């Protein structure tokens, strides 16, 4: 297995009704999240974002806007890279075209999630961070993938307190 390149991209997709295109990760780490992955040999973060959306969801990106990003100490399933454990993230909002054709290797339960249901998933992740949901329970019925809580809060897709974000952040390092 190749080492982590310490760079990641994530792509938030919404529809005209304001719903978020999300899925449960089929591989580590557990959680519900938008398309994301390492930049690797894709070239730029933009190229990687387009490739991840196509590879994970079968959709073509027609527009890509950077919305946030920074270094996060989150682990991945690869051995640590040159900068240790963590990733320099770039997060985009995207518009897409095409018919959903999810990757069975990387995704489960691909769906459009209304904002109130996304908030419920965020609250499940907070409960997990607070020890009110076990690892097995979270894997069986996940909330938002912990690293995504900060990104979704930053773009005001979810609302959690700073203390709750700190509790969740401890799950990502």
Mean pLDDT by 10 residues, the chain (173 residues): 93 97 92 95 94 97 97 90 93 97 95 98 98 96 96 98 96 82
CA distance linking residue 125 with residue 136, whole number of Å: 13
CA distance linking residue 35 with residue 164, whole number of Å: 24
Per-position b or e across 150-165, b if 16+ CB within 10 A of its CB: bbbbeeebbebeeebb
**Whole-number pLDDT of residue 141:** 96
**Whole-number pLDDT of residue 31:** 95
CA distance linking residue 34 with residue 9, whole number of Å: 10
Structural contact between residues 78 and 3, judged by C-beta atoms closer than 8 angstroms: yes
CA distance linking residue 8 with residue 4, whole number of Å: 10
Q: Which of 98, 112, 99 is nearest to 16 (CA)?
A: 112
């Amino acid at each position: 297995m190749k080492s982590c390149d310490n760079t990641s991209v994530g792509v938030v997709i919404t529809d005209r009704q304001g719903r978020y295109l999300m899925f449960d990760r089929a591989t580590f780490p557990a959680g519900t999240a938008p398309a994301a992955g390492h930049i690797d040999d894709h070239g730029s973060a933009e190229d990687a974002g387009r490739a991840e959306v196509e590879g994970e969801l079968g959709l073509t990106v027609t527009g890509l806007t950077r919305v946030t990003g920074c270094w996060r100490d989150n682990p991945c399933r690869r051995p640590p890279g040159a900068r240790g454990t963590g990733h320099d993230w770039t997060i985009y909002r995207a518009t897409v075209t095409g018919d959903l054709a999810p990757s069975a290797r990387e995704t489960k339960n691909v769906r459009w999630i209304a904002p109130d249901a996304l908030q419920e998933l965020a609250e499940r992740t907070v409960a997990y961070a607070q020890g009110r949901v076990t690892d097995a329970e979270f894997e069986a019925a996940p909330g938002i993938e912990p690293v995504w809580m900060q990104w979704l809060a930053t773009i005001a897709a979810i609302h959690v307190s700073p203390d709750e974000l700190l509790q969740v952040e401890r799950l990502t390092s």
